[in-house]
Amino acid sequence: MKEAVVIRDVSLRDGLQLVQTRVPTATKIEWLNGLMAAGLPKVEVTSFVPSSVIPQFSDAEQVASHALNVGGTSVSALVVNLKGARRAFDAGFRNVSYVVSASQAHSAANARRTTDEALNEFRLIVSERNARVDGWAIALECGIATSFGCSIQGGVDPARVLDIAEHLVAGGADSLLIADTVGYANPASVRRLFRGLFTIVGSIQVSAHFHNTRGLGLANVVAALDVGVRHFDASTAGLGGCPFAPGATGNINSEDCAFMLDAMGFDTGINMDMLLALRRKIELWLPDEKFHGALACAGLPKI
Amino acid sequence: MKEAVVIRDVSLRDGLQLVQTRVPTATKIEWLNGLMAAGLPKVEVTSFVPSSVIPQFSDAEQVASHALNVGGTSVSALVVNLKGARRAFDAGFRNVSYVVSASQAHSAANARRTTDEALNEFRLIVSERNARVDGWAIALECGIATSFGCSIQGGVDPARVLDIAEHLVAGGADSLLIADTVGYANPASVRRLFRGLFTIVGSIQVSAHFHNTRGLGLANVVAALDVGVRHFDASTAGLGGCPFAPGATGNINSEDCAFMLDAMGFDTGINMDMLLALRRKIELWLPDEKFHGALACAGLPKI
């Protein structure tokens, strides 16, 4: 009996965030169907962010109405503020994610607010969730961006991340997501931070969101696995990134990550051939993008 | 006091093996000087292979006469047979490497001999070394290629690798190099194989030579570190590969590997800025090559 490790594919959200090509809703739905068919257990399907900020996600409700009516895969949406949370709840999402930045400088540049203001906004979102008739059914995840460092301010104190995590759990977060937004984590700091987190957050789920900015993405996955992390974000074709790390590779690659986990003897539920076939479609849909990932280039090994 | 981890840079050997551009000897020497200046503790500088097979290395003796007369860095050469070993010994190398393939199919395709024939050749090399007046000063490393699998025959039985390792140590190898020639290793198989090796080879040095064919190179380094490996081959700019894995990324990248080890708190002795500067030079020397590595793209993190 293999142990399960869950990959949440974020290509439709984190991946499309920086893509200049506007992807038609129908294509996003084909993309989502491809992820579901390939067996991805979780997919982050869109972001409830003002269209003026990221026009790519102006079809969030349309994507939602498809995503929430097909079974098998757990779908979630990102929200950036209370207004977005209301939209996500109204659309019917039962898994909603929100993010605060551990780095003050990143918080100011990325979300134009302090970390404390972002934490306050989370409290409002929790209240809104709790006030809804079906609020009990909505799980709120809160991410902590730049948990290992930030390209604007440099280092981030792990104690600050633990402090934020404690606040979030006390404040109503159902799960946490620790994000290395711009590639500052390394296997040693990953082990230290997650060990520290597990001692303070109790039994709630803590997921990892790694970027491959400096090539350490999968090495960090191995380190996180070692200390008990079993939920990872990854992006098909390695799409994604951060506007504050231009030119760099972005999110860890779903194909490479799933391949590694499978090779290590974990059960991801993912059909590699189907995921690689979807990637080839995405390459056709986004001819101007730079794609990442070694498996798509080398192919699966001969067994 | 940081613990040391040794990177041997193999860009001048494994890296140049498949490069079509003939690199002038003077450029190779500038390359070597750059690696030494950047603090690489070990460099594999050339290969004693017939010029008819790989013309790139027809200047092996000229490279040697420079490499062996500058201090600070330990230099080694690869030999592919007894004749090459004689040339390397004559040239004055005190560190000489030889490789056998664990995979019969890879051995036949890559070296046109069986694994047992390759092991016999090693015995001849050991005898030649022992018969030399200064033989006591020559350290013989033997690599085991395709230790985790092979793109021609598929899986390789770990028991076969352990058996070969035992033969090599009994037969006079001073150190072993376990090579994942075409990217079949994963962190779980790396831990298993090295743990097994350490139980049978005693105190002799066992190094790891990983390729990044399927993106797992640095993840495998972390796994090897965990079970006690402290010597790694890597190639500046990620140059290298294998003729039997076309299109794939090759050796793990020296810059990314050194960055990771440094970030984890190990001492590599490598000056990252100088190594990245050398990489930029190499990109100018080899305008037709495909380069790999994330750090050169993203830059060093802000501290």
| Contact of B41 with B269, CB cutoff 8 Å | yes
Q: What span, in angstroms and rounded, lies between the C-alpha atoms of A130 and A124?
A: 10
Rounded mean pLDDT of A197-223?
A: 95
Q: Give the pairing type, strands B42-48 and B139-145.
A: unpaired
As a dihedral over the C-alpha atoms of residue A65, residue A282, residue A239, residue B248, rounded to 10 degrees, the angle is: 150
Structurally, chain B folds into a number of domains equal to: 1
Q: What span, in angstroms and rounded, lies between the C-alpha atoms of B142 and B205?
A: 11
Q: Is residue A296 part of a domain?
A: no
Question: Does the beta-carbon distance from B294 to A214 stay under 8 Å?
Answer: yes
Q: What are the residue ranges of helices labelled H in chain B?
A: 16-17, 25-37, 60-67, 82-91, 104-111, 115-131, 158-170, 187-201, 217-226, 254-263, 272-285, 295-298
Choose, from A142, A150, A242, A257, the residue flagged as catalytic. Answer: A242
Q: Give the pairing type, strands B95-101 and B139-145.
A: parallel
The mean of the pLDDT values for chain B is 94
Q: Is residue B158 part of a domain?
A: yes
**Segment A128-134 long-range contacts (CB within 8 Å, at least 24 positions apart):** A128/A82, A128/A85, A128/A86, A128/A89, A129/A85, A129/A89, A129/A96, A129/A172, A130/A172, A132/A89
Q: What is the pLDDT of residue B34?
A: 97
Q: What pLDDT, in 10s, does the model give residues A182-194?
A: 899 999 999 999 9
Burial of B137-150, coded b for 16+ CB within 10 Å and e otherwise, reads: ebbbbbbbbbbbbb
* Residue B78 burial (10 A CB sphere; 0-12, 13-18, 19+): buried
Q: Is residue A302 part of a domain?
A: no
Q: Is the model's pLDDT at A18 over the cut of 90? A: no
Q: What is the pLDDT of residue B154?
A: 92
Q: Is residue A1 part of a domain?
A: no
Q: Give the pairing type, strands A6-9 and A231-234.
A: parallel
The CA distance from A223 to the nearest CA of chain B, in Å, is: 8
Which amino acid belongs to residue A191? Answer: R
**Which of A222, A249, A303 minimises the CB distance to B155?**
A303
Q: Which residues of A touch B3 (CB under 8 A)?
A: none
Interface of B with A (CB under 8 A): 149-155, 182-184, 186-189, 212-216, 218-219, 221-223, 226, 245, 247-249, 253, 256, 259-260, 263-265, 293-295, 297-298, 301-303
Of B216, B231, B103, B125, residue with least CA distance to B172:
B125
The CA distance from A210 to the nearest CA of chain B, in Å, is: 13
**Which of A219, A260, A294 minimises the CB distance to B213?**
A294
Q: What is the pLDDT of residue A242?
A: 63
Of A237, A176, A182, A178, residue with least CA distance to A209:
A178
| Contact of A91 with A60, CB cutoff 8 Å | yes
**Cα B237 to the chain's mean position, in Å?**
14
Q: Is the model's pLDDT at A249 over the cut of 80? A: no
Q: What span, in angstroms and rounded, lies between the C-alpha atoms of B27 and A125?
A: 62
Q: What is the pLDDT of residue B159?
A: 97
pLDDT level of residue A263 (50, 70, 90 thresholds)? very high
Q: What is the pLDDT of residue A111?
A: 86
User: Within chain A, how many helices (H) and strands (E) appear?
Assistant: 12, 8
Q: What is the pLDDT of residue A70?
A: 85
Q: What span, in angstroms and rounded, lies between the C-alpha atoms of A272 and A293?
A: 13
Choose, from B150, B242, B257, B297, the residue flagged as catalytic. Answer: B242
Question: Does the beta-carbon distance from B219 to A214 stay under 8 Å?
Answer: no
Paired with A25 in beta bridges are none
Q: Is residue B303 part of a domain?
A: no
Task: Report the alpha-carbon angle B226-B230-B103, nearest 5.
Answer: 85
Give the pair of three-digit tokens for residue A268. 């991801």
Q: What is the pLDDT of residue B158?
A: 97
Q: What is the pLDDT of residue A170?
A: 95
Q: What is the pLDDT of residue A72?
A: 81
Least confident of A56-65, A66-75, A228-237, B1-10: A66-75
3-state secondary structure (DSSP) of residue B43: strand
Domain of A91: which CATH number?
A: 3.20.20.70
Q: Is the model's pLDDT at B198 over the cut of 70? A: yes
Give the pair of three-digit tokens for residue B284. 């100018």
Q: Which residues contact B121 (CB under 8 A, 6 or more apart)?
A: B81, B82, B98, B113
Of A160, A34, A64, residue with least CA distance to A104:
A160
pLDDT level of residue B216 (50, 70, 90 thresholds)? very high
Of A116, A67, A58, A99, residue with least CA distance to A242:
A99
Q: Is A142 labeled as catalytic in the residue annotation?
A: no
User: For residue A100, what are the domain limits?
Assistant: 6-290
Q: Give the pairing type, strands B74-79 and A175-180.
A: unpaired
The mean of the pLDDT values for chain A is 94
Which amino acid belongs to residue A287? Answer: P
For helices B158-170 and B115-131, angle between their N-to-C axes, nearest 10 degrees: 20
| Contact of B177 with B207, CB cutoff 8 Å | yes
Paired with B176 in beta bridges are B142, B206
Question: Does the beta-carbon distance from A215 to B151 stay under 8 Å?
Answer: no
Q: Is residue B1 part of a domain?
A: no
Q: What pLDDT, in 10s, does the model give residues B138-156?
A: 999 999 999 999 989 999 9
pLDDT level of residue A303 (50, 70, 90 thresholds)? confident
Q: Is residue A26 part of a domain?
A: yes
Q: Is residue A216 part of a domain?
A: yes
Burial of A153-177, coded b for 16+ CB within 10 Å and e otherwise, reads: beebebeebbebbebbbebebbbbb
Q: What span, in angstroms and rounded, lies between the C-alpha atoms of A8 and A41?
A: 7
Q: What pLDDT, in 10s, does the model give residues B253-298?
A: 999 999 999 999 999 999 999 999 999 999 999 998 888 889 998 8
Q: What span, in angstroms and rounded, lies between the C-alpha atoms of B209 and B224?
A: 10
Rounded mean pLDDT of B247-258?
A: 89
| Contact of B115 with B102, CB cutoff 8 Å | yes
Number of CB pairs < 8 Å for A and B?
132
**Which of A149, A218, A295 minimises the CB distance to B219?**
A218
Rounded mean pLDDT of A228-256?
A: 86
Q: Is the model's pLDDT at B243 over the cut of 80? A: no
E-only strand ranges, chain A: 6-9, 42-48, 74-79, 95-101, 139-145, 175-180, 205-210, 231-234
| Contact of A150 with A184, CB cutoff 8 Å | yes
Interface of A with B (CB under 8 A): 149-155, 182-184, 186-189, 212-216, 218-219, 221-223, 226, 245, 247-249, 253, 256, 259-260, 263-265, 293-295, 297-298, 301-303
For helices A115-131 and A158-170, angle between their N-to-C axes, nearest 10 degrees: 20
Considering only alpha carbons, which residue of chain A is nearest residue B212?
A294
* Cα dihedral across residues B154, B158, B163, B165: positive or negative: positive
Q: What span, in angstroms and rounded, lies between the C-alpha atoms of B84 and A273?
A: 44
The CA distance from A249 to the nearest CA of chain B, in Å, is: 7
For helices B158-170 and B187-201, angle between their N-to-C axes, nearest 10 degrees: 30
**Cα A255 to the chain's mean position, in Å?**
15
Q: What is the pLDDT of residue A119?
A: 96
Q: What span, in angstroms and rounded, lies between the C-alpha atoms of A176 and A202?
A: 11
